[in-house]
Amino acid sequence: MIDRRTVLASTFALAACDRFASAEPAPVAIPPLKSACPAPFGAAVKAYLLDDPDWVALARTQVSQLTPEWEMKMEYVLADGLKRPNFDRSDRIAAFAAANGMALHGHALIWYAQGEQAFAGLSGAAFDRAFDGYIASVAGRYRGRARGWDVVNEPILDDGSGLRDCHWSARYGHDGYILRAFEKAREADPEAVLFLNEYNQESIPAKGAQFLRLVERLLKAGCPLTGLGLQSHLWIDVEEGAIARLMGEVAGFGLPLHVSELDCTLRTDKRLDLRSQSERIARQTARVTELAAAFAALPEAQRYAFTVWGLRDTDSWYRQGEKDDGKDKPLPFDSFGRPNPMAAALVQGFGA
């Protein structure tokens, strides 16, 4: 995942090279991704999309699993404080999934970036009660409905040099909060697959190595970690072969893998990047094909699901507000719901 400064800088770079850009590629014909994918094919969703008939039609055709993009996070659930958790939108997404025969993936229970405000002022046993109680109430609420949970999200520093300091690690230690979260999630839902979810393992070798070490340590400590999430926020300059290599290493643990948040931005952090849109798309196609093929090559028991972080380009977090350059195509469908080259890359990689 590239950072926000990068995105803004590259907006200018892309604008600068606009005159070199070729015409939009023609939409491609593809089979439904949920039938091409050798596992449940998921998409992230925000509740307002359930009121968009075009999104609903596209999702019904393409998708067999949903991940709430933010309304199952502390940021939303605890927006009114610990005493008034709000499940209105996550309930709505869960009900939509069930009504449409789609599975549900829970995202995300404990994240360094969230909950600081809701937990402010708590210490000692009160903090413990709130931490344990949050996991029990959220994972417990969707027990039997969510087939898996991102129990801990993004614990590793961006440069891979160690684990992040956060309000959770301050109380329980760097491994301690992760262990505690997994234990509480297991108590709340004995059946769900429990994931450690992280990004950039393929593109920052030190981060990939740190991820492998962390998983090994957690498993040795008896952590009920039963799934590994590769977010896969890719970009076009990820080194060829790095995605497949990393997936092979992670698969060595024998646990189910989730490609949990795939998108592939066409933007880069080069200040003057004169590559045309079609050259960028060719690179995106290569990386996405590599990812899908590596996933399809896993043993069946290790293919938990393959999830894209939105269906249409304009639904992507890259295309919101001031981040939007109007041109990025990080997702498999264009703004009209027509397949992008990325959709064809997925089908090709899945070998369908």
Binding string, residues 242-281; x marks residues near ligand 9MR by CB under 6 A: -------------------x--------------------
Distance CA 163, CA 192 (A): 25
Binding string, residues 75-104; x marks residues near ligand 9MR by CB under 6 A: x-----------------------------
C-beta separation of 278 from 248 below 8 A: no
How many residues make contact with ligand 9MR (CB under 6 A)? 9
DSSP assignment string, 35-60: HHSSS-EEEEE-GGGGG-HHHHHHHH
Distance CA 281, CA 310 (A): 18
- Least Cβ distance, residue 199 to ligand 9MR (angstroms): 6
- Closer CB to ligand 9MR, residue 12 or residue 48? 48
C-beta separation of 136 from 187 below 8 A: yes
Does position 69 bind ligand 9MR by CB under 6 A? yes
Q: Which of 123, 213, 136 is nearest to 175 (CA)?
A: 213
- Least Cβ distance, residue 317 to ligand 9MR (angstroms): 4
| Binders of ligand 9MR in range 102-161 (CB under 6 A) | 153
Q: Interface with ligand 9MR by CB under 6 A: which range of 57-65, 68-76, 85-93, 135-143?
A: 68-76
Does position 324 bind ligand 9MR by CB under 6 A? no
Which region holds residue 257: left if phi is over 0, alpha if psi is between -120 and 50, else beta?
A: beta
Which region holds residue 115: left if phi is over 0, alpha if psi is between -120 and 50, else beta?
A: left
User: Which residues contact ligand 9MR by CB under 6 A?
Assistant: 69-70, 73, 75, 153, 199, 231, 261, 317
